Amino acid sequence: MYEDYRKAGEITKIVKKEVEEFLKEGTKVLEIAEFVENRIKSLGGELAFPCNISINEIAAHYSPPIYDETVLQNGDYVKIDMGAHVNGYIADTAFTVKIGEEKDDLIRASEEALENAISMIKAGVNTSDIGAKIEETIKSYGFKPIENLNGHRLAQNELHADITIPNIATDEGYILKDGEVFAVEPFSTDGAGRVVDEDRVFIFSYVMDRPVRLGLARKVLSEIRRNYPDLPFAERWLSKKFPGRKLDFALKTLMRNGNIYNYNVLRDEKRGFVAQKEHTVIVKKDGCEITT
């Protein structure tokens, strides 16, 4: 099990380093996402979730659709969030760059918050204390942590298991146990410090096989159940088999029917810029092991 977590982490380390050369003005977001996903698979991993490329005020869940013509612009805060798995054991990791510019304090705030959080992680530590350290670190830079986004426990074929690591101090927490695996992901912002749902949805996950009347929706659901029964998938992945706008209608039908869950694009409530840094760690008695 842990060796698979490590293998998945090694894959993401390679891809993170390689994708940096794409992060420059004029590069298509779609090109970046497909590079990340194809490279994970070429290195022997499987996709734990679609590559997220969230820009500026967008905090999470933006994975470009097949028709996306968006290109990177100088000054953009670009968050690359990727996940690989080996036999269902997941490495989840993210980083932020500012296109055409040097790293600034907004990015440093998320990075230092992650470093400080990881330095605390070991069996017996309360997640509330970790959240308090993340909040303290980000606020020391003059920014806000995003209070309604959290780190999360990982399990086999489970991206978001039952336990979270908050990015703020909380009244109650969870005591970490030896051997557990977590993704820790501080978000810093100069905005509201809270994300809201946009109407746009590009990432989904399978929920149940409930009867649905629309013929195309039944075909799409069969494809989802066969290929993506456990982990999130992108609309873009289905577009290659079900081209055209009818796919969008089929997915909306499946959402309304409760067959699939939708991950709405998340943005800062006041449209502030957002930075993110994330690693996956294995909790140990005397510290933790960073796999990504």
Among this protein's residues, is 152 annotated catalytic?
A: yes
Among this protein's residues, is 268 annotated catalytic?
A: no
Among this protein's residues, is 61 annotated catalytic?
A: no
Rounded CA gap, 203 and 37, in Å? 14
Alpha helices in 78-145 (DSSP H): 105-120, 127-140
The phi-psi region of residue 163 (left if phi > 0; otherwise alpha if psi is between -120 and 50; otherwise beta) is beta
Contact 135, 167 (CB under 8 A): yes
Which one is catalytic: 10, 37, 76, 81? 81
CA–CA–CA angle 261, 263, 266 (5° rounding):
160
What distance lies between CA 136 and its chain's CA centroid?
A: 23
Contact 33, 15 (CB under 8 A): no
**Selection from 214, 264, 212 nearest residue 242 by Cα:** 214
Which one is catalytic: 46, 136, 158, 160? 160
Which one is catalytic: 37, 76, 111, 185? 185
Among this protein's residues, is 230 annotated catalytic?
A: no
**SS3 annotation, 154-218:** EECCECCCCCEECCCCCCCCCECCCCCEEEECCEEECCCCCEEEEEEEEEEEECCCCCCCCHHHH
Which one is catalytic: 152, 190, 235, 268? 152
What angle do the packed helices 127-140 and 105-120 form, to 10 degrees?
A: 150
Among this protein's residues, is 76 annotated catalytic?
A: no
Among this protein's residues, is 185 annotated catalytic?
A: yes
What is the set of active-site residues? 81, 92, 152, 160, 185, 278
